[in-house]
Chain A
Amino acid sequence: MNTLERKIRRVGDEGRAALIPFLTAGFPDQSRFWPSIMELDEHGADIIEIGVPFSDPVADGPVVEDASRRVLADGVNLRGIMKELLERKGLLQSGVVLMGYLNPFLRYGFEKLADDAAAAGVHGFIIPDMPFEESAAFRDTLKQRDIALIPLVGPNTSEDRMRLYAAESEGYVYVVSVMGTTGERGAFDPRVADTLRRARSVFSLPVALGFGLSEPAQLEQFPADARPDAVVFGSALLRHLDAGKSAAEFLRRWRQA
């Protein structure tokens, strides 16, 4: 069992959903990024997704896109991220996942990336623009180093397509709540509960829900058989930190949920 799956299962045994904050590397600025990560780690994050910036983030809404542009302008790059992760290896209790678009990973080199990620204690990757059909080579490279390639599925992902991913995937399955890009929404797509149920029936992995989450209360609308095992929040956290507020304060609300 991959470390990420084990972490979520353990939290599930405590009767709560695992918390997975997403933070773009170098955000809100280079001096506050690592302190924010450490604070998230200390105050209840179970897994932390670190966003690797890209110039053309097609799956992201305005908040994550703006964060991406800001940190790129500030000189953040994958080499720096890998170096900083290596320097902090062992300091985080949370699982660590890198989330980013394919091209920067490709340019870095898959083999080298997998080696460096393993050395730095990274447990998983999420690559939004690498669907199942294009994923075999990198998935295998990661698997050899016990790193998970986490699949994304959504309201329009059929049971058949979910089965393709389920046969190969590790870690957790990331269910995208909306037919759209990242960013907070007041209401969920009415199909979310169906998508969560479908994912639960097809995958043996824990199910994480993301895109559009901002309030713990949003989870209450799901019937018991469609509750996610983990929740991911990105845009809401980015806005919260950018307003100068603390990561601990953001997580407190979710811990109490």
Chain B
Amino acid sequence: MKNAYFGEFGGCFVPELLMPPLLEVEAAMREIMPEPEFQSELEDLLRNFAGRPTPLTHCPTLSEELGLDLWLKREDLLHTGAHKINNTLGQALLAKKMGKTALVAETGAGQHGVATAAAAARLGLRCTIYMGGEDVARQSSNVLRMRLLGAEVKAVENGTRTLKDAINEALRAWISSQESTHYCFGTAAGPHPFPTLVRELQSVIGREARARFLEMTGRLPEAVVACVGGGSNAIGLFYPFLGDAGVRIVGVEAAGTGDPGCFNSAPLNLGVPGVLHGNYTMLLQNNDGQIEPSHSVSAGLDYPGVGPEHAWLHKTGRVKYGMVKDANALSAFHRLCRAEGILPALESSHALSYVLDHPKEFRGGAVIVNLSGRGDKDMGIVGDALRGGKTY
């Protein structure tokens, strides 16, 4: 097992029964992914099935209001509505070439579940999705989409009934189904080699954004910004810019309600290092090493851990990680709808909110915000918030 670590973070902390399938995925990454046949089939799926490349949209109204040059990387325009499809198509194709006949996956907001179900249907694989009971309730339209795409959705009623518990259950299911099944992990976290595999598949976001911006302006942006839950859309955008010393990189964690001591989803800012879901990373945990419940208005950020590469980029200082509260994310959501005619996912609204709330940090410069998903799935939550009701 090589390169399982990012500095001191990462690793492969799983039961021995999961080591053979993880080593199998690692070998497939090494032997199958670089093949021209794999690359060209993936390229075809991304272009003609998912809708890549995605545009880089300039936001004239907000740019003027903020005194900066705001651009959006439009992952919301992809098939199934978010960046998740970049990863699931790659992993589904890899699974197929590994001889697997089924995918198992976890999902939080349901976006990864829908993207996995779509990739599985497209490539003729069976699909089982584990989803926390609370998420099933707050993202019911995505549950229906997964079922329509042929996936079996299993509600997880253990623990906090959110993403964390869905991952536990999917890992358990993978122990017994590993011969026929690939675990299509949804974010750049989990045991090695998933943080690297997911980053490789999501880096298309940053490569496209960088090349397109260069092509249009002849230079690089001053900053790139993305929301961080597990951190797959963020690492996908950031990775190709890491070597560009002049480009500021900002990740945005969900601060929850912002009340003192509130549950949040900001382990980089508020957590301590530990091991969960197979990797050593920053975690929300108590003094006894028990994992604390997380909270965010956006189900896709609601996770007590974060990808290990983000923990490392945080520690080295190459990436700055800020926090945005539920209410600010909601107000950024409304502002983008009205100012630019784009309805963002609540996850992406956190990234946008950071720029709207701290324009001085970016003043005069060009900023690319990753609009990682569209907000259609969040209509229930936004509607409830508008009526002054429950905002989760």
Contact = CB atoms under 8 A, between A and B. Distances in A.
A154 B288 contact: no
B11 interface: yes
B285 interface: yes
Interface in A75-118: 77-79, 101-108
A119 interface: no
Contact of B11 (A107, A134, A158): A134
A72 interface: yes
B275 A58 contact: no
Contacts of A232: none
A103 B275 contact: yes
A133 B12 CA distance: 8
B20 A59 contact: no
Given A54-B290, A103-B291, A129 B14 contact: yes
Interface string B308-348: 00000000000000000000000000000000000000000
A168 to B, nearest CB: 14
Interface string B130-168: 000000000000000000000000000011000011001
A69 B291 CA distance: 12
A180 interface: yes
A107 B176 CA distance: 30
A10 interface: no
Nearest to B23: A161
B16 A151 contact: yes
Contacts of A44: none
B26 to A, nearest CB: 11
Given A72-B290, A104-B289, A179-B178, A131 B276 contact: no
Instruction: Give the dominant DSSP class at A's interface.
Output: loop
B275 A65 contact: no
Interface in B8-22: 11-17, 19-20
Interface in B268-303: 274-278, 283, 285, 287-291
Contacts of B288: 77-79, 104, 107
A131 B20 contact: no
B289 A134 contact: no
Nearest to B291: A55
Chain B's interface size range is 20 to 34
A141 interface: no
A176 interface: yes
A148 interface: no
Interface string A188-228: 00000000000000000000000000000000000000000
A130 B13 contact: yes
A205 B265 CA distance: 45
| Interface-central residue, A53, A79, A102, A178, by most chain B CB under 10 Å | A102
Given A65-B158, A129-B275, A179-B178, A105 B20 contact: no
B289 A56 contact: no
A2 interface: no
A202 to B, nearest CB: 14
21 contacts: A56-B159, A56-B277, A65-B158, A77-B288, A78-B288, A103-B290, A104-B288, A107-B285, A107-B289, A129-B14, A129-B15, A131-B16, A132-B16, A152-B16, A154-B17, A156-B17, A157-B19, A161-B19, A179-B17, A181-B172, A181-B175
Interface of A: 53-59, 61, 65, 69, 72, 77-79, 101-108, 128-134, 151-154, 156-158, 161, 176, 178-181
